[in-house]
Amino acid sequence: MQQHPLVAILTRLGTFVLVMIALSIMIFALARVVPGDPARMALGPAATQEQVDALRGQMGLDKPLPVQYIDYVGKALRGDLGMSLVSQRPVTTDLEQTVPATVELVLVSVIFMFVVAIPLGVITAHFRDRALDHIGRILSLTGVTIPSFLFAISLQLLAARCLPNWPIIGRLDHSLGFQPGPTGFLLIDGVLAGRLDVFVDALQHLVLPAFALAMAGIGQITRITRSSMLENQRKDHVLTLQSFGVPERVIIFRYLLKLSSIAPLTIMGLEFASLIGNAFVIEMVFAWGGFASYGLNAILQKDLNAVTAVVLVAGLFFIVANLVVDVLISIIDPRQRRKEAR
């Protein structure tokens, strides 16, 4: 008996709500017990104790932890994540300006992973122990072992040497005089505004950082795709198709690739979620100014409200990515729905 897809989605949503509650409790408690007074750090060493106490009362830090948590959750559900102690602006405003930049970068990186890693894994599996296989394995191992910041700097140097007019920092050429629109994604906003020049320039700015960010995922997904393809090639139904003389390309693209895509899809979902939090190195190298670098600055300066919001948003991305991957796997592999029904 198969479980209805809607039931499966609702079950996962219930689980993810519990995960978000647990995550919010954990990060809220940790942010309050780490050494250092956020009010003192916000006002600086020259502030008097009376000023510090007044700010602590304004931030609610003089209340018991359970009361602070309930107040925070109530405000968060209304869209109020507090004020940033560093920027002196609502954290929600900071997130609206920084999250789209990182999400756009990560989405393009995931597209690079899908376009490069899956075909490369299929090719290396098809030409097992031949020249193409060895080259593909070397490339995938290189992507896994070399740090992303080294790829980023190397790409910048290569572009500066070979393509002197190619942009290597920032998200958009300021001379275009374009401000992000309703989505915050420059590619989409450029299309919506009918500005082809903005779209092309934003895409050029995206290529290098997105490729540098995707390199580790490309190496990992290539290896997993290759392993899955080789494992499924030995399955009885594949051997039966081969014995019936079914063309090799039909076996690969209609049967093998579908069976072998489950593990890469799972890894790709995890990669998407982890890249949201791990993109700070790429953002610093390319002066991207996104969510990851904002979170790093918040942690270094102990910006209490910003740190809590950054972790919650990163956790939300992780949960959503896993939900999408689970749904896709259930669609691709009916055996998963039967297993969940049992």
Q: Using H for helix, E for strand and C for coil, what is the string for 89-125?
A: CEHHHHHHHHHHHHHHHHHHHHHHHHHHHHHHHHHHH
User: What residue spans define the domains of the chain?
Assistant: 97-301
- Please state, in angstroms and rounded to a whole number, the distance separating the CA atoms of residues 206 and 249: 34
Tell me: the pLDDT tens digits for 118-127? 888 888 888 8
Tokens of 83: 């004020």
pLDDT in tens, the chain (342 residues): 445 556 666 777 777 788 888 888 888 777 776 666 666 666 667 777 787 778 777 777 777 878 888 888 888 888 888 888 778 888 888 888 888 999 899 999 988 888 888 888 888 888 888 888 888 888 888 888 888 888 889 999 999 888 888 888 888 888 888 888 888 898 999 898 888 989 999 999 999 999 999 888 888 888 888 888 888 777 777 777 777 777 777 777 777 777 777 778 778 777 777 788 778 888 888 988 888 888 888 887 778 788 888 888 888 888 887 777 777 777 766 555 555 555
**How far, CA to CA in Å, does 194 sit from each of 178, 182, 188, 189?**
12, 14, 10, 8
Q: How many CA atoms lie within 13 A of 241 on its CB side?
A: 17
pLDDT in the model for residue 304? 79
pLDDT in the model for residue 208? 92
- Please state, in angstroms and rounded to a whole number, the distance separating the CA atoms of residues 292 and 88: 19
pLDDT in the model for residue 41? 67
Long-range contacts of 170-177 (CB under 8 A, 24+ apart): 170/205, 170/286, 170/287, 170/288, 170/289, 171/101, 171/202, 171/205, 171/206, 171/288, 171/289, 172/198, 172/201, 172/202, 172/205, 173/201, 173/205, 176/201
Contact 61, 38 (CB under 8 A): yes
pLDDT in the model for residue 336? 55
What amino acid occupies position 15?
A: T
The residue written with tokens 């080259």 in the block is 135
For domain 97-301, which architecture applies?
Answer: Orthogonal Bundle (1.10)
- Please state, in angstroms and rounded to a whole number, the distance separating the CA atoms of residues 340 and 334: 10
